Amino acid sequence: MNTTKPTVATDRKAFRDSKRAKNWAVFGLIAAFCVLLFIITIVRML
């Protein structure tokens, strides 16, 4: 019997479809907010 090894693409899709993805999406947004604060700081310093 042939077994199909999961590929990176299917792993990613499974992650996107999982409940965990929302947590990391929120985390990503918050991290982006921090990066934005940092960029504004640097721009103001120039």
Partner 1 sequence: MTSFTSIETPVSAGAGNSVWTHFRDFSALLKPRVMSLVVFTGFVGMFMAPGELHYVLQIVAIICIAVGAGASGAINMWFDRDIDQIMSRTKGRPIPSGRVTPDSALTFGVLLSGGSVMVMGLAVNWLAASLLAFTIAFYIFIYTIWLKRSTPQNIVIGGAAGALPPVIGWAAISGNVALESLILFAVIFIWTPPHFWALALYRSDDYEAAGVPMLPNTHGPKETRKQILAYSIILFAISLMPYIIGMAALLYVIITLVMGVLFLVLAWRVFKYGLVKHCKQLFGFSILYLFFLFLALLVDKSLGLPFRPELAKVFY
List contacts with partner 1 (CB under 8 A). Answer: 19-20, 22-23, 26-27, 30-31, 33-34, 37-38, 40-41, 44-45
The residue (of 7 and 41) whose beta carbon lies closer to partner 1 is 41
Closest contact distance (angstroms) between CB of 37 and partner 1 is 6
Phi, psi of 35 (to 5 degrees): -65, -40
Give per-residue burial for 29-43: e unless 16+ CB within 10 Å, then b: eeeeeeeeeeeeeee
Closest contact distance (angstroms) between CB of 6 and partner 1 is 20
